Amino acid sequence: MPRRVLILGGTSDGRALAELLRPAIGPSMSVVSSLAGRVRSPRLPPGEVRIGGFGGIAGLVSYLRDEAVTHVVDATHPFAAGMTAHAAAACAQTGVPLTILRRPGWTERSGDRWHRVASLVEAAGVLPQVGSRAFLTTGRQDLAAFAGLDLWFLVRSVDPPDPPVPRRMRSILARGPFTVDGETAILRDHAVDVLVTKDSGGADTAAKLVAARTLGVPVVMVDRPALPPGVPVVATPAEAAARL
């Protein structure tokens, strides 16, 4: 039976996995990458691509059956908890094997001043005790938790932020990877005294942590949501490709 692989992507790891599988595409294997469509001009992976949601668990179940999908790899963002939960439920209902591809989170190092929190709401709660000029790198859709704070925010996102947003805010649009020199300049030029970020892991956006460590800027680090129990998890695209 030909294998049909669905990659739930939108990340650099999802694109890398699609690239690794490209040589195997042929009569015995087909690969489709699914992107949520939240970024206006996404970086597209090689091969077949679909853009948009599935319509919840029921919609994903229908897609898996209609498209005769034989394997699913969840390579979504580590904080896309809803999509991961839907994938686990849909694959359980259909019997399609699911593998979760999650790069390791960041590790605190000597010189770091991290304040780990469990959620964006908790991050907003501790922020006024940590600093008054925050560099917020949690994504354009996650600003509501900070909208009521009377602090100054520098917000970076790929697309313009979605309201509600903080009253005192400057927005910059940029896409990683970023350099340590560039991140250091941002922290200095804007007199940032606290960095707020999610524990996304990976190298593309890790430079800000190095810059914060160098300048002694504290970091409010939002921990990742828990993964569904019982689902195999791999750390690299190469491991995911090997499983397939």
The CATH number of residue 21's host domain is: 3.40.50.720
Is 118 in the same domain as 211? yes
Is 131 found in the same domain as 61? no
pLDDT at 148 over 80: yes
pLDDT digits (tens, 9 = 90+) for 31-61: 999 998 766 667 789 889 999 999 999 999 9
Q: SS3 for 122? A: helix
Predicted confidence (pLDDT) per residue in 115-146, tens digit: 999 999 999 999 999 999 999 999 888 899 99
Asked whether the beta carbons of 69 and 212 are under 8 A apart, the reply is no
Contact 4, 72 (CB under 8 A): no
Determine, yes or no, domain membership for 234: yes
Query: Does residue 118 share a domain with residue 211?
Result: yes
- Co-location of 179 and 150 in the same domain: yes
Number of domains in the chain: 2
* Residue 109 covered by a domain: no
170 within domain boundaries = yes
Give residue 151's domain range.
Answer: 114-222
Rounded to two decimals, the pTM is: 0.90
Q: What is the pLDDT of residue 158?
A: 87
Residues 126 and 84 in one domain: no
- 61 and 133 housed in the same domain: no
Residues 15 and 98 in one domain: yes
Within this chain, do residues 33 and 119 fall inside the same structural domain, yes or no?
no
92 with 49, same domain?
Answer: yes
